[in-house]
Structure formats: structure tokens, C-alpha cells
Structure 1
């Protein structure tokens, strides 16, 4: 998400669903500001593009995650039309992360 929108997105979610952030997080795979909504057992995470970095699983190298916000599809999600990351960009992103869950996502995306 472009950083300019992160606070607005946080305020759109009802307080009872906002489970994290927006705040900075640096973990094994990501170094970014993000927020998380929890809807029952479904988590929705929205990360800021400002100073966002992801760690490549195979080399341990950190990459600045520059996303191309002009490449997207607009699809309905829970009754709202939202921009969804381009499939090729998502696969490239998941290849860098390289976790088992990402490899499975790539396999499933190949079937779409």
C-alpha cells in the first residue's frame, strides 16, 4: 500500500478488528510498517511501501521491495472493489521470500 494511505486504511477498520498497527515490524522476512485486521480466523495484513524491505530466503539478502502500483487488477472483495497485486509481481515477490507457504502459493497461482 502506498504509505500515504496506511493511516486512512487503519481508521477504516473497526477497532475490534484492528489487531496490530500501524507500526514498524522487523522480523525474519519483512522490515516494514504494517497493520493487521482479524476477522474471525481470517487475517488481512496491509503493509506500507515506505522503506519496505523483504529478505530473500536463499541468500539472506535484504531487498528493497519496490512495488509497481500501476500494475493491478480491480476485483470485488467482501463487497468492495479493491486493487489486487499483479499476478506476475506477486509470484516474483513470493519467490524472493521462498518460504514453504510461498512455494505452495506459487503452485496454486500457476493453476489459476
Structure 2
């Protein structure tokens, strides 16, 4: 299921020459975690966000909007493709909650910093391991701590 959803979103983005970075659980899996995958998370540059929303319109399960939830403060859209949630975040202005300092901090997504990994039958651009460890350490939710331990 995750393979066809990943193939769908990667094709949608590549057909439009939209840069993207895979983060979250799928990236953690690529770096060695064994935990179950719940969804596919990725970021696109702000100037491409609306075209992603329009292109994926038939599969929207959560409308594109700015949300502040579970340690995240960002604009994203959620698609559901063959039962799999695919969340695409707008990189511009994205923030995460620093659990230790109790403050919002910028999540500076740099699309020139990635590692291409063969995953789910695709070549995917992943957030660098050190960047993933940084943001998951800052968030420090139980799942993030588990992820950091698994990929270190």
C-alpha cells in the first residue's frame, strides 16, 4: 500500500518538476528504524504548494490549511491514496515546538540538502539523517525519541 502511495505522490511531483524532501516515518525507516509506517510525510517549496494541492485534488482527505498541532506549526494538505495518508507540507514558515525550551523554532527545510535512497521501489530524496535527528530531538515526543534511538 505504501509503495503505490509513494509512487503516486513522487510521480505527481516529478511530472511537475517540483522538488520535495521525504521526512518523518518513511525517512526514519530508510535510515534503519523498524517501526510501522503510518503515513508518508514530505515537504515542497512554498511556491509549488498550491499546484500540489490542485494536482492531488481528487485525493484530498484534509484540506490545505495552516495548522498548529502535535508539535507542528505549518501549512499542509493531506491526501489519502489507496488507504494511505500522504501529508505534504509547505516548507516556507514551517515551525516545530522545541520541547526543552518550550518555544516554536523554525524548521529550515533546505532542498539542496538530501540523500537519494532506493526505497519502496523508488529513488527518493530524503532529508539528511543529521537534519532528521535534529528535528526529532527538538520535538522529543515519544515517537521521535524512539526514532532517534533507532537511527543512531
User: One fold, TM greater than 0.5?
Assistant: yes
Unpaired segments ≥5 residues, structure 1: none
TM-score by length of 1: 0.81
Distance 1:59 1:87, change over 3 A: same
Q: Deviations over 1:79-103 (max 9, x none)?
A: 5543211111011011111100111
TM-score by length of 2: 0.62
Pairing 1:12-91 to 2, within 5 Å after superposition:
12-13=55-56, 15=58, 17-76=59-118, 80-91=122-133
Contact 1:6 1:22 in 2 (8 A): no
Considering Cα pairs closer than 8 Å and 6+ residues apart, tell me whether 1 or 2 has the greater RCO: 2
Q: Which is worse superposed, 95-104 or 4-13?
A: 4-13
How many residues align? The count is 109
What is the CA-CA distance between 1:40 and the residue it aligns to? 4.9
Q: Secondary structure at the match of 1:51?
A: coil
- Normalized per residue, the structure richer in helix is 2
Cα distance in 1 for partners of 2:119, 2:130 equals 20
Q: Deviations over 1:9-56 (max 9, x none)?
A: 2233351x3212321111241111111122355322111122211111
